[in-house]
Structure 1
């Protein structure tokens, strides 16, 4: 069941109020990038498999099997702690309630970062 016009207006008003009261909270609520739990489960399973291969390689005196087990364990832990790729940045909620799309990062080194900061200050009105 869709919302009535009145309910939509009230909801939009509540969103604007939240954004004006606490813009950081609004940005946090609209931001993406939480690591899904399945990522940790998969990494844990990989670490267990790698540990089993490492122990089996040591018990059977097969160094190559132990090395493969170690590499699998290392890859699983690296996978667990690496940041996942995001499908796309959510944007930034400004204090007036508008959502601005994120800017693409430039690869220009120091000058690019300084230019980006200058542009950000101009957009924010001197903050």
Structure 2
């Protein structure tokens, strides 16, 4: 059953409000929930190999092999649940949606977009203007 025009407008307004109030949550909710099956296959193989190393290390009284098996299992599970292709500085949305639907950048994002040398030059000019050395 399709939504009425009023319901669609209310949902769009709620979406804009959520995006402006908490952009990280809005970004998380709009991402797809499925992950690549290949990651889980690789992680499963890693867990099995780690478990075998752990068992053979315990059965053969080789503690180093057991510890290595545990580390391999732990790394495989961490690999399975890690966020692929995500970098901390780039995970958020590109800006804030204003009331009219336009996207406005935040000041911190404008500063991040500037190059390293540009930021150094700005700092230098600021220090020279303050009477620094």
Q: What interval of TM-score do these two structures reach, taking the shorter chain for normalisation? A: 0.3 to 0.5
Which TM-score applies when normalising by structure 2? 0.46
TM-score computed with the length of structure 1 as normaliser: 0.48
Q: Select the structure of larger CA radius of gyration.
A: 2
- Taking CA–CA contacts closer than 8 Å with sequence separation of 6 or more, which of the two structures ends up with the larger relative contact order? 1
